Amino acid sequence: MRTPSTTHAGRPVASALVLGLLLAGCASTHGLAPDARPLDGDALASTRSLSGHELSAANFPAQDWWSALGDPQLDSLIVEALQGTPSLEAADARLRKAQAQAGLADEARKPTLSASAQYSGVQLPETLLPPPEGGSYLGSTVVMFNFKYGLDLWGGKRAQFEAAVGQARAAEVDAQAARLTLASNIARAYVGLAQAHAALDVVNREHERASRLRGLGEQRVRAGLDNQLQLRQAESIIGSAQQQAQAAQQQIDMARTMIAALMGQGPDRGLAITRPAILQAGTPGVPAVLPSELLGHRPDVVAARWRVEAAGRGIDASKASFKPSINLSAIVGLASAGLSDLFSSDGLLGLGGPAISLPIFDGGRLRGQLDASDADYDLAVANYNQSLVAALHEVTDALQAARSLDQQVDSSRRALAASKSAWSLAQARYRAGLGTQLDVLAAQRPLLQLEQQIAGLQAQRLNATIDLDRALGGGLVLEQPTSPIANTVATP
């Protein structure tokens, strides 16, 4: 038989629930949705720009792509740097923080149980209460277990967890990108070191040529065969060569210091770096699967893709806030005025039950929160689109630069061969008595200029190789979201 108290107690609860469900529509997601749309990589036209380059089935760089440059010292420098530098430690710290935040989001989905014990006492003065209550000391001991669990009826907590996981995956890719950036920066600095050494060699030969020219000028002046003009010109060339040699040495010192700094070491570490060996620039080639497969190799594109995924889950979490939530809580414990009675059945303490919460009027807070989540998604998509466009741009630029520089090096080498022929002819004429040593030294000057020009072009060509390997992802194998990007956000 149902008691009157039970019947009457249930009616207000049921009425409040029905009224709450009717009013819940006041907090609505109507009219709120993200605007941005992700680009399709294959829809970005690049066929004509990539035409004329060598294509392979899947010619992405190896993870140790820098070894193709052919210098064991460079290999050891990069391997040493990848063992730990401040820049890598910062990226790893950001990764650990993102992973910890994902762990916190996961823990928020689980029930919690805590325990507490408390003793309290009170002395009641007789001025407030007469005896026996007044003037007596009353003590109580309470031992409690507190259980709480919020049901994830609409998947909001799961969405928050998945958003945090997406951010952690993006931070993981960022850490890999930091290693790729570090390796490429060291390789480029190493190429600069090699170029500075080559420039110093050319300048030293120019100084030697100018010194010989000055010696001849002094002999001709003493013999009365010439005036001071050529002598002063030779001295001017010597001064210029000395200045260029000093500048080249400065570039060598700066390159060594830069490499040491990139390695996270002091400048003295750079002093141990010897002259680079002859570096090799491979034939530029691109995988035939561009641009779609590029999305899985570029760390910035993959990280941006994870952030789009995380932002989509953030929208789902914001939408779940508009719906009713149910929380379960229970407190079970023991309470007694004395320790002797604490564990008796009379000291049992219990409190608990379900609680339902319905958003009705919240001053636009939930709509503002959802609008912010939509904006976060639009921003993530815009960054993804920009990363995708930049990726194809960098690949194309590196390929075009490599092809153009190969042509420039070939042209300069033909000019160098012609200059060497002119120099050899001047030497032959001098040995035959048909020319002077001044003619030989004059023919040598364009030869040295072309050698310096070729050294600069070869350095640019090596940098183009490094840029291409970096633009193709540097051989990284990166995990991507499995769901299509267009389906990460459901229609509101």
Please tell me the distance from the alpha carbon of residue 77 to that of residue 90, in angstroms, as a whole number: 20
Q: Residue 231 sits in which domain range? A: 45-108+163-321+368-487
Please tell me the distance from the alpha carbon of residue 410 to that of residue 454, in angstroms, as a whole number: 9
Residue 51 has pLDDT above 70, yes or no: no
The distance of Cα 335 from the centroid of its chain, to the nearest Å, equals 56
- Phi first, then psi: give them for residue 464, nearest 5 degrees: -65, -40
Asked whether residue 439 is domain-assigned, the answer is yes
DSSP for 347-361, written as a single string: GEEEEEEEEEE----
Q: What is the pTM of this model?
A: 0.78
Q: Are strands 54-56 and 285-287 parallel, antiparallel or unpaired?
A: parallel
Asked whether residue 352 is domain-assigned, the answer is no
Asked whether residue 20 is domain-assigned, the answer is no
Which of 126-130, 401-405, 455-459, 463-467 is the least confident region? 126-130
Band (124; pLDDT cuts 50, 70, 90)? confident
Asked whether residue 136 is domain-assigned, the answer is no
Q: Do residues 213 and 234 lie in contact, with contact meaning Cβ atoms separated by under 8 Å?
A: yes
Please tell me the distance from the alpha carbon of residue 209 to that of residue 421, in angstroms, as a whole number: 18
Q: Do residues 377 and 34 lie in contact, with contact meaning Cβ atoms separated by under 8 Å?
A: yes
Asked whether residue 472 is domain-assigned, the answer is yes
- Report the first-to-last Cα separation within the chain, whole angstroms: 48
Please tell me the distance from the alpha carbon of residue 392 to that of residue 353, in angstroms, as a whole number: 58
Strand, coil or helix: 147 = strand
Band (459; pLDDT cuts 50, 70, 90)? very high
Domain at 415, CATH number: 1.20.1600.10
Band (296; pLDDT cuts 50, 70, 90)? confident
The tally of domains found in the chain comes to 1
More confident residue, 78 or 49: 78
**pLDDT at res. 377:** 92
Residues 34-54 have a mean pLDDT of: 59
Q: How far is CA 352 from CA 112, 272, 355, 426, 427, in A?
A: 14, 72, 9, 105, 106
Q: Tell me the per-residue pLDDT of 305-345, one tens digit each, with 9 for 90 and over.
A: 899 999 989 998 888 888 888 888 888 877 776 666 666 66
Q: Do residues 302 and 176 lie in contact, with contact meaning Cβ atoms separated by under 8 Å?
A: no
Q: What percent of the chain has pLDDT over 90?
A: 18
**pLDDT at res. 429:** 76
Which helix (H) or strand (E) is 287 found in, with range? strand 285-287
Q: Tell me the per-residue pLDDT of 372-394, one tens digit each, with 9 for 90 and over.
A: 989 999 999 999 989 888 888 88
Q: Tell me the per-residue pLDDT of 64-114, one tens digit each, with 9 for 90 and over.
A: 899 989 999 999 999 999 998 888 888 889 889 888 988 888 888 888 888
**pLDDT at res. 269:** 92
Asked whether residue 417 is domain-assigned, the answer is yes
Asked whether residue 67 is domain-assigned, the answer is yes
**pLDDT at res. 375:** 92
Q: Tell me the per-residue pLDDT of 185-233, one tens digit each, with 9 for 90 and over.
A: 999 999 999 999 998 988 888 777 777 767 766 676 666 666 666 667 6
**pLDDT at res. 27:** 58
Q: Tell me the per-residue pLDDT of 227-265, one tens digit each, with 9 for 90 and over.
A: 666 667 667 777 777 888 888 899 999 999 999 999 999
Show the tokens assigned to 267: 């400048």
Asked whether residue 358 is domain-assigned, the answer is no
Return the closest-CA partner of residue 424 out of 437, 438, 443: 443
